[in-house]
Structure 1
């Protein structure tokens, strides 16, 4: 069992220590009136976001992480993930999409021009 995995059992590498920040956002349709008082209301349900950072991923780990979301390689933009939800203090399944993915190639082999590994990899999972 992984800390984050798809419903199909594809594990996301463990986030770096100090990463895996959970944000719960409430969408609000609101503003302030002439007296400066808040007026508005909640729109829809709260949304869950996990900000993941990975200090180092080997090429196959990076490829497998990116494949989860790459439609041209059999992935999907929206996936069902099993994640830990602090609101219920347990693992739950939720549909999530991925935000920008980034990483820095490191120790590029001069013969093959391929990185030995990727540093500072980041990806955000956001509830649909």
Structure 2
């Protein structure tokens, strides 16, 4: 069992220790009136966002991570993930989309100009 995995059992690499930031967003339809008082209401349910960082990934691990979301190569923008939800203090399955993904190629193979690894890889998973 992995910290984060798809419903189909594809596990993401273990995130860097202490890197899994969790944000819970409450969306509101609101503004301020002429007196500066808040007027509005909550719109929908709270949403979970998980920010993960990976210290170093192999090219294969990076490709697996990116291919989950690459629609041109069979991936999907929205995937069902098993993640830890602090609101229930347990692992749950939820549909999530991916935000920006980033990383820095390192150990470049001079003969083929391919990265031998990726460092400082980051991704955001956001509940639908």
TM range (shorter): over 0.9
Name the TM-score, length of structure 2 as normaliser. 0.97
Residue equivalent to 1:117: 117
Shift of 1:107: 1.4
- Partners in 1 of 2:50 and 2:14 — Cα distance? 12
Alignment of 1:15-94 (within 5 A): 15-94=15-94
Give the secondary structure class of the aligned counterpart of 1:64. Answer: helix
TM-score (norm 1): 0.97
CA–CA separation in structure 1 for the residues paired with 2:74 and 2:31: 43
Deviation at 1:17, TM superposition (A): 1.5
Inter-partner Cα distance in structure 2 for 1:42 and 1:77:
26
In 2, the alpha carbon distance for the partners of 1:121 and 1:28 equals 32
Unaligned runs of 5+ in 2: none
Query: Structure 1, unaligned stretches of length 5 or more?
Result: none
SS in 1 for 2:87: coil
Separation in structure 2 between the aligned mates of residue 14 and residue 36 of structure 1, nearest angstrom: 46
- Number of aligned pairs? 128
Cα deviation, residue 33, structure 1: 1.3
Q: Give structure 1 regions of 4+ aligned residues with deviation exceeding 3 angstroms.
A: none
Task: Confirm or deny that 1:107 pairs with 2:107.
Answer: yes
1:13 deviates by: 1.0
- Pairwise CA RMSD: 0.8
How far 1:100 moved relative to its partner?
1.0
